Structure 1
Amino acid sequence: MTTRLRVLDDGAWISVDDSREVRVSELWRLDAPDFCRCALADLVVENFQSVGVDGSTVEARVYGQCIACGETGVTGWVPVGRVHEGEFAELARAAVRSPQG
């Protein structure tokens, strides 16, 4: 089964199968020592740079800012949700996410 992923509205949304599923302005907890020096970054998601899939995991590269230390930049590939049996499920907002590459 094919899943269509796109970044919409100049990076404001991630579309999964033509449905807007993940939006900017969320606060994500990141275990991302390459992003900033905080033990866990509190990242305000400002823009989706790109979106992809690794197996059943939907991932995005995100531009954002850590509200604890002020660091800004683009993350590695951060999981945003999963596709299971053709249905998308977003990660819980309270989940700690770990970027890859």
Structure 2
Amino acid sequence: MVTSVHQLDDGAWLSVDDSREVNVGDLWPIVGGFCSCSVTDLLAEGFVEVSVDGRSVEARVAGQCIRCGESGVTDWLELGRVVDGRFRPVDPTSVHLPARRTCSPPVPE
């Protein structure tokens, strides 16, 4: 099964199979690699690149840490997974750290 992933509205939305799934403008907690803060509170400003790696939908995100003010682009972050042909976003309250990521529960049919 092929999954179509792209960005819309100048990087404001992540589209999966022609459905707007994830937007920017929220604070995303990220551990490691973006700035010197122990936990980066990233104000996500735009998707720079999007990709599918197996079942994982990933993106590099431009933004700014609201703790220290550093701006830049993240490494690849998992934003969700395609399971049984459906996109399941990463729980937005979880820290963006591969070992601690959890997907949202399945949507009832």
Q: TM over 0.5, yes or no? A: yes
Equivalences for residues 10-29 of structure 1 within 5 A:
10-29=10-29
Query: Normalising to structure 1: TM-score of the pair?
Result: 0.93
Q: Give the corresponding residue for 1:71.
A: 70
Alignment of 1:1-101 (within 5 A): 1-32=1-32, 34-98=33-97
Structure 2 Cα separation of the partners of residues 15 and 70 of structure 1: 28
Greater Rg by CA: 2
Displacement of 1:53 = 1.3
The Cα offsets for residues 49-99 of structure 1, whole Å up to 9 and x where unpaired, read as: 010011211100000011111111001101111110110011111111138
Question: Which runs of no fewer than 5 residues in structure 2 stay unpaired?
Answer: 99-109
Higher fraction of strand: 1
Residues 27 and 93, structure 1, Cα contact 8 Å, conserved in 2: no
Higher relative contact order (CA 8 A, sep 6+): 1
Q: What are structure 1's unaligned runs of at least 5 residues?
A: none
Paired AA for residue 19 in structure 1: S
Taking every aligned residue pair, what percent have the same amino acid on both sides?
Answer: 54
State the distance in 2 between where 1:67 and 1:76 align.
18
Q: Which runs of at least 4 in structure 1 moved beyond 4 Å after TM superposition?
A: none
Report the RMSD for the aligned CA atoms in angstroms: 1.1
